């Protein structure tokens, strides 16, 4: 996964006196710098040089330690959310005596917990040790998922789903922060696509596990209900991965046990070009205000809200949607597996194309257009064409490419640690609201084909496409404005400006990825 990087030099001092014409609003940040600069201060002015060979070596070490556990945990993050969809056709509805729209509300309640805790968890991700807090949340959510096997009523399921959302709320923003902390802007898009693609792996694994449990219990019997087994298996696996995550993933480069002492500073030096630093634990209200005034914050929010209405519906009802195509409940478990493969391929291809073209946003539109065509096939094809409609469902699984592209933009394009966590929180709050609305579009009276819900999905995808084009246009316009500022003869930058926890709008040297 190594990419070419230029040699990097890092001075350990912030010299304000040498830049007397610098904007005083930037100068004040020298006294509240990023954690990275505090580490370089210990070098007493010594310059660190990072050559290309060392950069490649460090990138390989980082990839092999960070990416596997992030990928597997993120795969379980998706599987744990969708376990209920498998359980719904394995006896859960009957055993919990669910009536009317109670199953729909269980689908939404996960996101109520996610929504309620999203902003607090982003503040905790900033204040607490990043790796330890993220790992603790993984272990806790796995334990809570195991508890679902003991649920005997709708009210008990409500509590489990809500707290599952609370503890999973840290995963996506935490992973975005970790990616921005360890990888350069050029590397981030591909890495986010890789770990997010394990959503598809989770769907594949979930379908295989659920099908195996369904077939095995039907043939040999079981002392507990099949749907309880799937919750126990996925929950215990999550706990095990959480423990590994706690051991492997550090809070930042400075306490990475698998890096030599001298390599820790070099690992920070290699991300200097990001103009973002590696972390600042001080809450800065002005950065919150800037986030709320930034048009991109709200473009991200409304994209997540609108695009995740389809996601919330399909995620919780895909097994039932497949059975509406004329397949049996048991067949629907295994027929959901190719959908996961489509998502993996779409995301990996999107990450690769975005990297080689430096056009992440435009490349991601391919997955969204593919999903739109898939939904149209589900509606337009005759009911007798079960295979064609099933292929249409598989095509909808390419839709996450745009969501992931914007997630990587939060990692690459939002600077200032407080601003980054605020934008990430609002983006995922939009994600929660969309996922809460989504299951409600699949009304019981519209079963088994859910035509109104499918039409809603088409409209949402179309609006999302327009928002993505606007975001692309805005970033190109802002980059042109910043180049004009840099070209002014009176423009002077602070030494080590990239370590001062400046926001992307404060820092004229900060260029947006597109």
DSSP string, 310-322: HHHHHHHHHHHHH
Residue 418 domain flag:
yes
Tally helices (H) and strands (E) across the chain.
Answer: 20, 2
Residue 26 domain flag:
no
Distance CA 282, CA 501 (A): 10
For the chain, the domain total comes to: 1
Q: Which domain CATH number covers 135?
A: 1.20.1250.20
Distance CA 434, CA 428 (A): 10
Cα atoms found within 13 Å of the Cα of residue 182, Cβ hemisphere only: 31
Residue 510 domain flag:
no
Q: Which domain holds residue 215?
A: 33-499
Residue 350 domain flag:
yes
CB 364 within 8 A of CB 401: yes
Residue 28 domain flag:
no
Residue 142 domain flag:
yes
Nearest one of 431, 435, 432, 438 to 452, comparing CA atoms:
438
Residue 318 domain flag:
yes
Residue 12 domain flag:
no
User: Which residues sit opposite 8 in a β-bridge?
Assistant: 50
pLDDT tens track of the chain, all 514 residues?
444 444 444 444 434 333 334 455 555 555 566 666 666 665 545 566 778 889 999 999 999 999 999 999 999 988 877 788 778 778 888 888 888 888 878 877 888 899 999 999 999 998 999 999 999 999 999 999 999 999 999 999 999 999 999 999 999 999 999 999 999 988 999 999 999 999 889 888 887 888 888 788 877 877 788 888 889 989 999 999 999 999 999 999 988 999 998 898 889 888 887 777 677 788 899 999 999 999 999 999 999 999 999 887 776 666 677 887 888 877 777 887 888 899 999 999 999 999 899 899 999 999 999 999 998 988 888 888 888 988 988 999 999 999 999 999 998 999 888 999 999 999 999 998 998 888 778 777 777 667 788 888 889 999 999 999 999 999 999 999 999 988 888 887 766 677 778 889 988 888 999 9
């Amino acid at each position: 996964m190594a990419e070419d990087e230029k040699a990097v030099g890092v001075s350990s001092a912030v010299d304000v006196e040498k830049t007397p014409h610098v904007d005083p609003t930037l100068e004040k940040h020298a006294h509240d710098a990023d954690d990275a600069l505090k580490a370089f201060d210990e070098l007493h002015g010594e310059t660190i040089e990072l050559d290309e060979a060392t950069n490649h070596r460090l990138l390989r070490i980082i990839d092999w330690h960070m990416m596997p556990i992030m990928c597997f945990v993120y795969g379980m993050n998706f599987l744990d959310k969708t376990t209920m969809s498998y359980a719904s056709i394995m006896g859960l509805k009957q055993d919990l005596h669910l009536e009317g729209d109670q199953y729909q509300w269980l689908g939404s309640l996960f996101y109520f917990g996610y929504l309620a805790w999203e902003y607090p968890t982003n503040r905790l991700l900033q204040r607490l040790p990043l790796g330890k807090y993220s790992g603790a949340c993984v272990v806790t959510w796995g334990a809570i998922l195991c508890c679902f096997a003991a649920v005997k009523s709708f009210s008990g399921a409500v509590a489990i789903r809500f707290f599952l959302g609370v503890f999973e709320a840290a995963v996506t923003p935490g992973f975005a922060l970790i990616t921005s902390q360890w990888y350069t802007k050029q590397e981030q898009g591909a890495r986010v696509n890789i770990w997010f693609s394990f959503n598809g792996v989770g769907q594949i694994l979930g379908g295989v596990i659920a099908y195996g449990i369904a077939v095995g219990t039907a043939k040999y019997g079981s002392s507990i209900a099949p749907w309880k087994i799937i919750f126990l298996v996925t929950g215990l696996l999550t706990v095990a991965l959480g423990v590994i995550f706690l051991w492997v993933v550090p809070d930042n480069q400075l306490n990475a046990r698998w890096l030599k002492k001298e390599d820790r500073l070099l690992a920070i030096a290699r991300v200097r070009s990001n103009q973002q630093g590696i972390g600042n634990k001080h809450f800065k209200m002005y950065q919150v205000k800037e986030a709320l005034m930034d048009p991109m914050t709200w473009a991200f929010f409304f994209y997540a809200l609108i695009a995740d209405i389809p996601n919330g519906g399909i995620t919780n009802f895909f097994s039932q949607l497949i059975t509406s195509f004329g397949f049996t409940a048991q067949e629907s478990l295994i027929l959901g597996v190719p959908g996961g493969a489509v998502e993996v391929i779409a995301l990996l291809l999107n990450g690769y194309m975005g990297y080689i073209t430096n056009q992440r946003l435009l490349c991601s539109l391919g997955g969204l257009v593919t999903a739109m065509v898939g939904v149209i096939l589900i509606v337009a094809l005759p009911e007798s064409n079960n295979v064609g409609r099933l292929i249409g469902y598989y095509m909808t699984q390419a839709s996450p490419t745009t969501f992931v592209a914007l997630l990587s933009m939060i990692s690459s394009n939002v600077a200032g640690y407080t601003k980054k966590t605020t934008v990430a929180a609002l983006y995922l709050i939009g994600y929660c609201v969309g996922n809460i609305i989504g299951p409600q579009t699949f009304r019981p009276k519209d079963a088994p084909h859910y035509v109104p819900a499918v039409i809603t999905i088409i409209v949402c995808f179309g609006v999302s496409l327009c928002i993505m084009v606007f975001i692309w246009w805005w970033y190109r316009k802002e980059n042109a404005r910043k180049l004009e500022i840099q070209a002014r003869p009176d423009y002077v930058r602070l030494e080590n400006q990239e370590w001062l926890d400046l926001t992307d709008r404060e820092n004229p040297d900060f260029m947006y990825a597109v």
